Structure 1
Amino acid sequence: MERGCTLFVLVVLTVSSLVDGQEGSCQPGTFGDYCSYSCNCGSSCNSATGVCAGACDDGWREGNGSLCQKENVAYGKQVSGSGDYSNSWTAKKAVDGNRDQDVTHGSCYHSYYYPTFWWVDLAAEYRIHSVRIYNRAGYPHRLANCSISVGPDSNSETVCYTFPSNRKDIPDVIDLTCNGIGNFFIIRNPGNAPSQDDTLNICEVEIYVCSKGTFGAYCSEFCHCLNSTCDHATGKCPGDCSPGWMGNTCSTQCTNGTYGPNCLKKCDDRHCNGTSSCPPVYGGCTTGCEKGWARPDCSDCTTGFHGPECIECGHCATNTTCDSTTGECGSGCLEGFTGLQCKESVGNGSSVAGAVVGTLLLLLIAVIIAVVVFRWRGKHSSSVRGHHAVFNQKERQKGDDNVYMNVDVDTFPIYATPNVKAQKQSQGYRHS
């Protein structure tokens, strides 16, 4: 059990570290955000800053207390020239990494045919900016008036740099700026150098491009472009910044309670489960999310919830969930439920309606019974009062012999019963 708990804690800490965009320690030879940069100086660089303690690897420049992020993209690439003066002075000598400028040591290119040229295929399109050329020592005039072109093929004639015509202005090691975009880098000698010497003697050509994510004269500044890289000269990103960064060069970290791509998300809009820090990269909630909200930043609904408030989905069909916006179950409902969101029980609607109708009918019957009873009681009371009034009137109008006297038709209702005995005596009297 203790082993399982330890493993669980390790996994949680690892996930948390990745979510927050923080790296504890990079593997040797890497450094920076998510350990995504290579040291290019063996394993001697600092895992946080990338500064190299020793020299750079072949094909890289600077080092020894600085970064090694300036790459020579010409190193070891395919080359060609206007003939090789000897097998010791071939075109590939200019990209073999040997900067020895003594031609007798077999480290330089010496052309043979005229007009003379030399080119290197960089194998990919580059935005070229910084170039260093090691000329044959003591022969600067052989580069006078030469031109450099950059383009998509070896015939490109888009000139990005022209060497001075005065040999005194051409040092043995030349650092120059060539602003161009292309796969091919071409040096041409037009044949109008002093003494008409149009031979090419070059010992090494280094074309420097900053590694992905760096820019500046020494490739020591960092940009953080989203799914792309910045211009290695200006540092400008072609699109959005990576999460946690903002600005034209995407080199400013999010501040003031913001996070995410271009720092457009607000920490206060998250639905963390309690108080949490807000890392600038993904804004992950270290305390977890409220119910219905998904990690890392608790700003979107987790599976099974929908809408702006992340309400729980209804009873969608097995192994499916509702639309995260509308909450509708596109694949249907589980048995026993209905409706677009599958939140209504089958029969619930008719049962409620039946109950309502039944209640109304009972109320109606009760009202009818009450009315009938009320009217019956009213009629009965009137009949009793009328009967008592007539009976009292009769008592006053009959004589001692119980014979009704001078009873008017209006005062003697037809339903009153006459004194039978008095009638018989009266009849007998009249017939005698």
Structure 2
Amino acid sequence: VEHSVEALDARRPISRPIPHVAILRDELTQLFSDDYEEEEEEMEARGEHTLSETFVCLENTFGHDCSLTCEDCQNGGTCNAEGTGCECPAGWSGLLCNQTCPPGTFGKNCSQLCLCQNGGSCEPITGTCRCPPGVAGIHCEDGCPKGFFGKQCRKKCNCANRGHCHRIYGACLCDPGLYGRYCHLACPKWAFGPGCSEECLCVQPNTQHCDKRDGSCHCKPGYRGVRCETECEPGRYGEDCRKKCSCSPDARCDHITGRCWKECPQGYHGENCDQECPAGRFGANCLLLCSCGGAPCNAVSGQCVCAPGWTGHDCAQGCAAGRWGPGCANVCECSSSTGSCDAVTGQCACDAGYTGSRCQEPCPDGFYGIECQHACNCQNGARCDHITGQCHCHPGWTGPHCAHVCPQGRFGEGCSQACSCSNNATCDHITGRCLCAAGWMGPTCQQGCQPQRYGVGCLQPCSCQNGGLCNATDGSCACGLGWTGKSCELGCEEGMYGEGCRQRCDCVGNVSCDRITGHCLCPPGKTGPRCDSECPVNRYGPDCALTCICASSTQCSARNGRCHCHRGSMGPSCREDIMTVKK
């Protein structure tokens, strides 16, 4: 059994023997022809020795260096009965079943030929045809040949790269790897398939390019796998990991260049292993790249040393709410609703309306909002909400900025109360106290002014005389009949009567009338509505209101009631006999 080789197991080198035997064959090839003229016994034996070595793998291993086992079979591959290789399922091929069937083949061992027509591609496992757009049928036979369209398939497609077109309309239907109106554009990098609609799944840093037709990955030297996700196995390097390293057992082989190098302790590199790993690298000989998104990592273990505000194995996660600092190790001490702070500095992110190192203080008067940076715009002594900036008006004020008094009939906090004032009284917009109109008084202005009082609050004394009525609003006098003047201090002029002395007496002979009723005041001896009649018999005086006292059949003067005695009579009433008196 030959020398041992190194293999990688979880990034740590171990040593195991190659399970094989070497069969050596020694052959001598004669260098001279049989007609050599010298004597046979004198002939010098001259020839060329060839030493060949043949590997025979043991212990169910296989491969060119016996480094593979059945555990290396991929994609459902199983070990064959002899344990000398992988039995691949349908659609897969290669030593480890890690390659899809070549185009045009399918099935187990990729031994069957596809029957697809008109540009159809074959599914590598079952052989099912995948027809291009505009083509149908089990074998894509229902459609025009590539490059033609129309009812009889006689019209030529105007598509680049001999592309298919719609069998009826002639629109270009691009093959995998092409796109554009005329299928004249190749897929951009990392896109593939019909119309370049699929994204390559290759590990891009390890991949040269992605096949624009089927998306298969073409790895950079030193990498392998369906997605180029794996470095070459130990002892192999280069393109497709085909080259074999030639390093001594105590040295390692670079998986890309094949360069041999001595392994330094973790975290160091250099010829004498005395140089610490540069930023971004770690491990033995500093060959491994940190996966920390730009953050440094521990030179020995590769553990990321996250910058303040970041955490996670690759420092790709921001701090959770409520934590901050390097590795998010610190807890925020904030009184905000979320308790969160700046993930880098720990500065509290205060809710709107709060300030202070821990967000424990409301905004100072006159300011509100995030970081208390907005100035309030409230009037008439209104208070501003420190969170929203909404003005909280004092009683009696309203509006967004508390600039308006309550509307008529409302008062108090938020103008929410209704005034209870009557008779056109106004209501104090703050207290609701009734401000009575002139002529009214009382808590709700339902009482009229007391007699001889008028004005606002009924505080002014009236000046009306002679029974004149005082207007409670303005104090003006409404004079009774027969009186006039501002204060009803003047009786009606002669010949006038009634309200405001505006009516003229209707009496005969300039006779005056009653200034109140207009009734004619007849002089003695006159009577009648207009004083145009003489007194009737036995009546006398003003308006004939008096009765004569004269003896019967004796008349009296209609003016003064004096009796006119008959002859032989005498006395005030003509009741005395003259003869009797003389006796």
TM-score scaled by length of structure 2: 0.19
RCO comparison, higher one (Cα < 8 Å, 6+): 1
TM-score scaled by length of structure 1: 0.24
Larger Rg: 2
More strand per residue: 2
